[in-house]
């Protein structure tokens, strides 16, 4: 059965409370947080059982697609009154990153709620809260008797947090993805410490690069010329000097956010076999995050120049190299953005538009030409994704359900475009 509107944010007199006095939406959120879908061995079976139950409660058909062994992508569908129109996608991922439990004040998988209403758990911000907000927003809309014009899909993706199996990256080329006929997607964003809500219209490209520096080997007691270490030092200096330049650009500009500059971080150094042996090769790895405004081909030419300047024989390889420079329109003339922004304004929400500094599944959605916005309705909240003691306050969580109610209804009601097949025209 579908309960009545269940939250103090928009719930009104029909709100229902659990036996403990806790809002049922909060209880569901905490239940989901307790599922240990944590790497390196996420319990995806538990998540699938949870989603099966939710689909039954909401009376929504659910499709399961096994992308890799034991990696199942799940889609619930709320069909619109005009399913020929392009659909709305509400995207979320089921996995969470590992924890260092010794740094947590509570067990990261017990979903403790403290006296201030802060709910602690891995995934509280990234992004199990958003998943439940989607679900509860649709539960409320159905209880009210609302019906979307455009079909709404809720997608639950595995392995967003790791680089091995590639859930969404694989699925966007799958025939089932094309059948969804997506026109616009909502995906995860970030918390915001202030009153404003951050919305992301693009992402930086992650480049993971390893530079191989060969050199003359020899005994550790000699001044051997042209060593791997000398070349390595030159490479490190070039990358770290550039890092400092970008850091200064960020610090000196009041208009820039982290997503507007390139971050460079040295993450691994390898080489050598003994204290007294000069190695024949050393290597260094960097994590680069590059804004979509940067000329990526030109940036790689700069890397080649740094390698050439460091000495002969230096090569590099990419473990990850994304070249997607698509961004979602935030012009008021764009129907999707207009529906999103005007709905937020009607709720007195201030939006701050940014390039997402890290990486989400939105980049794969934009890469196939679908506009996507990264948005998590979590203001007045410290940014704690992947951090110790990740939490979300229950009132912020409940308010977000109301936000998604309004957004889902608005986005699914965007009028048909001239190029859409519309049997009612």
**Alpha helices per DSSP H over 96-144:** 128-144
- 41: annotated active-site residue: no
CA dihedral 121, 124, 126, 131 (to 10 degrees): 130
Which of these is catalytic: 6, 23, 126, 160? 160
Tell me if residue 266 falls in helix, strand or coil.
Answer: strand
Sheet holding 205-214, edge to edge: 263-271, 281-290, 205-214, 315-321
Q: Is 95 a catalytic residue?
A: yes
Q: Residue 127 and residue 141: Cα distance in Å, rounded? A: 22
Residue showing tokens 């944010």: 9
Active-site entry in 6, 95, 260, 394: 95
Q: Distance of CA 6 to CAs 144, 165, 394, Å? A: 11, 37, 13
Neighbours of 405 (CB within 10 A): 23
Tokens found for residue 193 = 């410490």
What is d(CA 87, CA 17) in angstroms, rounded to the nearest whole number?
Answer: 33
CA within 13 Å, CB half, 128? 33
For residue 360, give Cα distances in angstroms to 74, 126, 127, 177, 261.
18, 10, 11, 18, 18
Among 415, 409, 412, 407, smallest CA distance to 340 is for: 407
Residue numbers annotated as active site: 95, 160
């Amino acid at each position: 059965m579908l309960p009545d509107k269940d939250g103090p944010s928009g719930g009104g007199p029909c709100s229902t409370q659990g036996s403990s006095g806790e809002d049922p939406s909060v209880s569901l959120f905490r239940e989901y947080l307790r599922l240990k879908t944590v790497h390196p061995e996420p319990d995806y079976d538990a998540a699938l059982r949870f989603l099966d139950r939710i689909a039954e409660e909401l009376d929504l058909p659910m499709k399961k697609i096994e992308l890799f062994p034991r990696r199942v992508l799940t889609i619930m569908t709320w069909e619109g009154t005009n399913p020929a129109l392009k659909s709305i996608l509400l995207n979320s991922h089921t996995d969470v990153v590992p924890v260092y439990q010794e740094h947590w004040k509570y067990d990261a998988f017990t979903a403790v709620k403290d006296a201030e209403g802060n709910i602690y758990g891995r995934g509280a911000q990234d992004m199990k809260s958003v998943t439940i907000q989607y679900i509860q927003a649709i539960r409320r809309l159905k209880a009210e008797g609302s019906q979307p014009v455009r079909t709404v899909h809720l997608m639950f993706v595995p392995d967003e947090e790791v680089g091995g199996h590639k859930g969404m990256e694989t699925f966007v080329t799958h025939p089932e993805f094309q059948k969804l006929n997506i026109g616009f997607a909502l995906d995860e964003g970030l918390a915001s410490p202030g009153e404003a809500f951050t919305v992301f219209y693009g992402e930086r490209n992650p480049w993971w690069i390893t530079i191989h520096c060969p050199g003359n080997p020899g005994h550790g007691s000699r001044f051997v010329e042209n060593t791997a270490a000398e070349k390595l030092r030159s490479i490190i200096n070039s990358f770290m000097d550039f890092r400092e330049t970008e850091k200064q650009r960020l610090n000196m500009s009041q208009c820039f956010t982290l997503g507007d500059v390139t971050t460079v971080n040295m993450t691994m150094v390898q080489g050598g076999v003994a204290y007294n042996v000069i190695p024949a090769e050393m290597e260094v790895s960097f994590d680069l995050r590059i804004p979509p405004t940067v000329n990526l081909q030109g940036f790689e030419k700069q890397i080649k120049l740094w390698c050439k300047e460091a000495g002969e024989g230096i090569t590099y390889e990419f473990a990850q190299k994304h070249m997607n420079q698509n961004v979602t329109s935030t012009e008021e003339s764009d129907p999707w953005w207009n529906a999103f922004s005007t709905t937020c304004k009607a709720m007195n929400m201030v939006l701050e538009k940014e390039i997402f500094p890290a990486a989400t599944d939105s980049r794969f959605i934009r890469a196939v030409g679908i506009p996507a916005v990264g948005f998590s309705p979590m203001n007045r909240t410290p940014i704690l994704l992947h951090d110790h003691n990740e939490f979300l306050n229950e009132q912020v969580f409940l308010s977000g359900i109301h936000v998604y109610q309004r957004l889902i209804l608005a986005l699914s009601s965007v009028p048909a475009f001239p190029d859409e097949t519309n049997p009612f025209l």
